């Protein structure tokens, strides 16, 4: 585990520096690509060529192929997509390899739902989507839901949050033994919802996703807690490796205790509009799009059955590696998952099409003489939909190499969902991200850059953060401490995880001309080119310090009593001072013109500080109750009522899920504040590069 007690960290730094200085210096004497013209020397030439070699046609071709069949992880059509990606990489002459794991996945066998209305009518409600021929499309289900049956009164519990149950309790509504209907949202993961419902004595959960226009789709999804293979928690699920038994406590606690199923908004409304009992609490009405007046319980009863199987499956990650010419031991990773609940045109194969096009264009640059300074790795993950399984296993297997050599992880999942550019990043990458959007044409306007458009819409440029556990950046950032980004066009698309996420939907709604694909890929590729080629890593830790200060200001409004934020404030000051020095050093080194061995070594020393700094936020003990998550700034909160996407350990104690004694609670918050402060200090020490 790449933790960071500071002496070890600095020692590691010095050790790597001395060994790896060799690599840096060697290539000087063996220019493999002597400059025949201006171009091979000039990174701008390759950036321009990368941008100008885009065509929307290739994206549509790739996407068409990837979405011909529904390709759920662990099934034969999914293997076909793996081979398609692998063959594509190989045909481009890229060094390609495949990495398989044997993991526990989950599939449905049987499900049924019957409504017994108050007027005596009994109807069997179809659970599949209308007009969908079930040829290879998996029926709607929740992966890892236990099998089971329930017969009980229906109760509507809104998002299924603690405050929702409180509102029901205040109206005298009992939920015990009921079948709860939940609308998706409110910052609750599927696992949060079912775990909370089970705590409240609910017998089974039905979830639906509200929609304005499209209400027939059913949102599949995983209800497993945590991420990665449940049988190999913390280590890689390699063939013939160590594995827990399916019945062991550690495994079972990852799965909910009561069965659940997704249903369509249409179906949910049929049931909900038949309820009597207490009125819907007024505080729910603001955002509610469903026709429902009363929350029950009853008189409608549901008879619900779900039978599924958990079984071992082989999953396949595919990689293409472009070896760095000068720093082959520094990795820039671009990742996207390939597995889909159904056809996956948006989720995730718009991103896969982008990855394939990056491969095509990087191969083209190589034919023109380009070799990145650092190694670039294109990663195509499997079984993300079950809980980031492919990427988490790989990160676990490669933890030390990633912790000491990965410069950044650039994720793209649902690349194109509709209009509008959105990005998430760790803050040291903000400036780079914003800069590259100045070079990319906006796909939805005549004559503007993506940057112009981004600035002009959605209240200006707002880069989100990566505390969610909703795509493959989570293991890289939250477990391994690798600086990360994630980006996409559009958000909240209506066909999410339904059988209607198809190529046709993309050409009709998501991106009819495939120009948004072109744009998002432009940003992705330029980020990679800078991170792989810039002599000094384009990381800015002053941005990070400013962001941390903002979080601290928000916290100070929430804290009361004897809790002090002074430790964090002092640590941020240290970080700011260190980051300033690093910026000055970077400026000096950029301005130095004659490239000699000493300059290369100095760059390497500086780059290593920049690369390692993020690791300071990791803590070997991890977050309380979810120890796999090691990052103290970005990580999941425990389904708390807060929307704060930072300092999860602190926030969990400010909004505890169970009531605590005030004094104990304040002590717990203060301890978490000290932990965060020490983490920020570690980052500052790493940037300074000195022992205390």
Question: Which residues, 189 to 208, sit near ligand NAG by CB under 6 A?
Answer: none
| Closest approach of ligand NAG to the CB of residue 127, in Å | 12
Site string for ligand NAG, 143-172 (x = CB under 6 A): --------x---------------------
| By the rule CB under 6 A, 319 interacts with ligand NAG | no
| Closest approach of ligand NAG to the CB of residue 120, in Å | 7
Task: Select 179 or 318, whichever has its Cβ closest to ligand NAG.
Answer: 179
DSSP result, 53-94:
T--HHHHHHHHHHHTSS---TTSHHHHHHHHHHHHHHHHTT-
| Closest approach of ligand NAG to the CB of residue 56, in Å | 4
Tokens at residue 42, please?
């000039």
Task: Select 112 or 431, whichever has its Cβ closest to ligand NAG.
Answer: 112
Task: Select 53 or 90, whichever has its Cβ closest to ligand NAG.
Answer: 53
CA dihedral 674, 678, 683, 686 (to 10 degrees): 170
Exactly one of 128, 303, 564, 657 binds ligand NAG (CB under 6 A); which one?
303
Query: CA–CA separation, 519 vs 417, rounded Å?
Result: 13
Task: Select 98 or 562, whichever has its Cβ closest to ligand NAG.
Answer: 562
| Closest approach of ligand NAG to the CB of residue 623, in Å | 25
Question: Which residues, 41 to 60, sit near ligand NAG by CB under 6 A?
Answer: 56-57, 60
Task: Select 515 or 549, whichever has its Cβ closest to ligand NAG.
Answer: 515
| Closest approach of ligand NAG to the CB of residue 662, in Å | 6
R_g over Cα of the chain = 26
Question: Which residues, 274 to 293, sit near ligand NAG by CB under 6 A?
Answer: 274
| Closest approach of ligand NAG to the CB of residue 561, in Å | 3
Query: CA–CA separation, 62 vs 60, rounded Å?
Result: 6
Exactly one of 8, 18, 171, 562 binds ligand NAG (CB under 6 A); which one?
562
- Exposed/middle/buried for residue 128 (C-beta within 10 Å: 0-12, 13-18, 19+): middle
Task: Select 103 or 356, whichever has its Cβ closest to ligand NAG.
Answer: 356
Strand partners of residue 152: 302
Query: 122-124 and 95-116 as β-strands: parallel, antiparallel, unpaired?
Result: antiparallel
Tell me the CA distances in angstroms from 446 to 250, 450, 452, 456, one per residue in order. 56, 11, 12, 15
Exactly one of 90, 305, 549, 564 binds ligand NAG (CB under 6 A); which one?
305
Question: Half-sphere exposure of 666 toward its Cβ, with a 13 Å CA cutoff?
Answer: 9
Contacting residues for 468 by C-beta, under 8 A, at least 6 apart: 474, 636, 645
Task: Select 23 or 117, whichever has its Cβ closest to ligand NAG.
Answer: 117
| Closest approach of ligand NAG to the CB of residue 123, in Å | 8
| Closest approach of ligand NAG to the CB of residue 84, in Å | 19
Exactly one of 7, 241, 561, 596 binds ligand NAG (CB under 6 A); which one?
561
Task: Select 87 or 121, whichever has its Cβ closest to ligand NAG.
Answer: 121
Contact 293, 274 (CB under 8 A): no
Question: Active-site residue numbers?
Answer: 384
Contact 540, 431 (CB under 8 A): yes
Contacting residues for 274 by C-beta, under 8 A, at least 6 apart: 115, 117, 118, 299, 300
Residue 189, phi then psi, degrees to nearest 5 = -75, 165
The distance from CA 110 to its chain's CA centroid, rounded to whole angstroms, is 31
Query: CA–CA separation, 190 vs 261, rounded Å?
Result: 10
Stretch in the footprint of ligand NAG (CB under 6 A) among 14-22, 86-94, 111-119, 329-337:
111-119
Stretch in the footprint of ligand NAG (CB under 6 A) among 80-88, 117-125, 311-319, 330-338:
117-125
Query: CA–CA separation, 26 vs 533, rounded Å?
Result: 17
Query: CA–CA separation, 208 vs 268, rounded Å?
Result: 7
Task: Select 128 or 305, whichever has its Cβ closest to ligand NAG.
Answer: 305
User: What sections of 614-654 are H helices per DSSP?
Assistant: 648-654
Quick check: helix, strand or coil at residue 517? helix
Query: CA–CA separation, 621 vs 643, rounded Å?
Result: 24
| Closest approach of ligand NAG to the CB of residue 147, in Å | 13
Task: Select 139 or 337, whichever has its Cβ closest to ligand NAG.
Answer: 139
| Closest approach of ligand NAG to the CB of residue 296, in Å | 13
Contact 307, 108 (CB under 8 A): yes
Contact 625, 640 (CB under 8 A): no
Tokens 């009405």, residue located? 285
Question: Which residues, 495 to 524, sit near ligand NAG by CB under 6 A?
Answer: 513-515
Task: Select 14 or 667, whichever has its Cβ closest to ligand NAG.
Answer: 667
Query: CA–CA separation, 642 vs 656, rounded Å?
Result: 10
Contact 216, 266 (CB under 8 A): yes
| Of 339, 304, 301, nearest in space to 318 by CA | 339
Query: CA–CA separation, 294 vs 298, rounded Å?
Result: 10
Query: CA–CA separation, 422 vs 8, rounded Å?
Result: 38
Task: Select 89 or 514, whichever has its Cβ closest to ligand NAG.
Answer: 514
Exactly one of 93, 121, 253, 293 binds ligand NAG (CB under 6 A); which one?
121
Q: Of all residues in this chain, which one has the CB nearest to ligand NAG in the complex?
A: 561
| Closest approach of ligand NAG to the CB of residue 117, in Å | 4
Site string for ligand NAG, 602-621 (x = CB under 6 A): --------------------
| Of 3, 144, 13, nearest in space to 690 by CA | 13
Tell me how many degrees the CA angle 242-626-635 measures, rounded to the nearest 5: 115
| Closest approach of ligand NAG to the CB of residue 208, in Å | 17
Question: Which residues, 375 to 394, sit near ligand NAG by CB under 6 A?
Answer: none
Binding residues with ligand NAG: total (CB under 6 A)? 18
Question: Which residues, 634 to 663, sit near ligand NAG by CB under 6 A?
Answer: 662
Interacting residues toward ligand NAG by CB under 6 A:
56-57, 60, 112, 117, 119, 121, 151, 274, 303, 305, 513-515, 561-562, 662, 666
């Amino acid at each position: 585990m790449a933790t960071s007690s500071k002496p070890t960290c600095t020692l590691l730094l010095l050790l790597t520096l001395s060994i790896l200085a060799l690599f840096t210096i060697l290539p000087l004497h063996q220019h493999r690509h002597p400059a025949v013209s201006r171009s091979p020397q000039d990174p701008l030439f390759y950036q321009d060529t990368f941008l100008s070699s885009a065509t929307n046609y290739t994206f549509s071709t790739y996407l068409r192929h990837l979405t011909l069949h529904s390709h759920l992880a662990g099934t034969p059509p999914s293997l076909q997509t793996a081979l398609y990606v692998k063959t594509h990489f190989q045909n481009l002459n890229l060094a390609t390899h495949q990495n398989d794991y044997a993991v526990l996945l989950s599939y449905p066998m049987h499900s049924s739902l019957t409504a017994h209305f108050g007027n005596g009518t009994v109807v069997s409600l179809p659970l599949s989507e209308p007009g969908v021929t079930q040829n290879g499309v998996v029926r709607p289900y929740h992966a890892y839901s236990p099998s089971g049956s329930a017969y009980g009164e229906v109760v509507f519990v809104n998002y299924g949050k603690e405050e929702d149950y409180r509102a029901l309790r205040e109206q005298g509504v009992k939920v015990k033994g009921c079948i709860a209907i939940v609308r998706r949202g409110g910052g609750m993961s599927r696992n949060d919802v079912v775990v909370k419902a089970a705590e409240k004595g609910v017998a089974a959960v039905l979830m639906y996703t509200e929609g304005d226009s499209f209400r027939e789709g059913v949102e599949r999804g995983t209800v497993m807690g945590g991420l990665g293979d449940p049988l190999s928690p913390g280590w890689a699920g390699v063939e013939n490796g160590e594995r827990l038994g399916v019945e062991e406590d550690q495994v079972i606690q990852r799965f909910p205790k009561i069965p659940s199923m997704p249903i369509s908004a249409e179906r949910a409304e049929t049931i909900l509009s038949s309820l009597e009992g207490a009125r819907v609490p007024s505080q729910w009405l603001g955002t509610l799009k469903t026709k429902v007046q009363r929350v029950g319980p009853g008189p409608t009863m549901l008879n619900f059955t779900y039978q599924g199987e958990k079984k071992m499956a082989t999953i396949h990650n595919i990689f293409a590696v472009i070896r760095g010419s000068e720093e082959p031991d520094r990795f820039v990773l671009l990742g996207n998952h390939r597995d889909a609940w159904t056809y996956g045109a948006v989720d995730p194969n718009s991103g896969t099409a982008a990855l394939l096009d990056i491969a095509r264009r990087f191969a083209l640059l190589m034919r023109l003489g380009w070799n990145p300074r650092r190694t670039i790795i294109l990663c195509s993950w499997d079984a993300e939909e079950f809980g980031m399984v492919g990427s988490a296993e790989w990160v676990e297997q490669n933890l030390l190499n990633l912790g000491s050599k990965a410069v950044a992880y650039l994720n793209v999942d649902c690349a194109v969902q509709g209009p509008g550019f959105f990005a998430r990043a760790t803050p040291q990458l903000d400036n780079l991200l914003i800069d590259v959007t100045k070079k990319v044409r906006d796909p939805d306007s005549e004559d503007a850059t993506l940057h112009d458009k981004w600035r002009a819409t959605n209240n200006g440029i707002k880069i989100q953060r990566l505390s969610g556990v909703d795509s493959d950046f989570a293991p890289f950032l939250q477990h391994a401490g690798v600086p990360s980004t994630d980006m996409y066009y559009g958000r909240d698309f209506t066909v999410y995880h339904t059988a209607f996420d198809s190529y046709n939907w993309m050409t009709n709604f998501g991106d009819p001309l495939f120009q948004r694909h072109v744009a998002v890929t432009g940003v992705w590729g330029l980020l990679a080119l800078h991170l792989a080629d810039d002599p000094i890593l384009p990381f800015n830790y002053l941005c990070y310090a400013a962001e941390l200060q903002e979080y601290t200001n928000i916290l100070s409004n929430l804290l009361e009593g004897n809790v002090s934020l002074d430790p964090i404030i002092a640590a941020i000051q240290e970080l700011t001072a260190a980051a300033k020095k690093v910026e000055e050093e970077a400026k000096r080194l950029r301005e130095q013109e004659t490239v000699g061995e000493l300059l290369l070594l100095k760059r390497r020393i500086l780059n290593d500080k920049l690369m390692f700094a993020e690791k300071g936020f990791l803590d070997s003990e991890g977050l309380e109750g979810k120890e796999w998550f090691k990052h103290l700034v970005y990580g999941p909160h425990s389904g708390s009522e807060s929307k704060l996407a930072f300092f999860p350990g602190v926030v969990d104690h400010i909004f505890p899920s169970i009531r605590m004694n005030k004094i104990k609670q304040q002590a717990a918050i203060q301890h978490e504040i000290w932990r965060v402060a020490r983490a920020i200090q570690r980052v500052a020490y790493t940037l300074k590069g000195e022992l205390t």
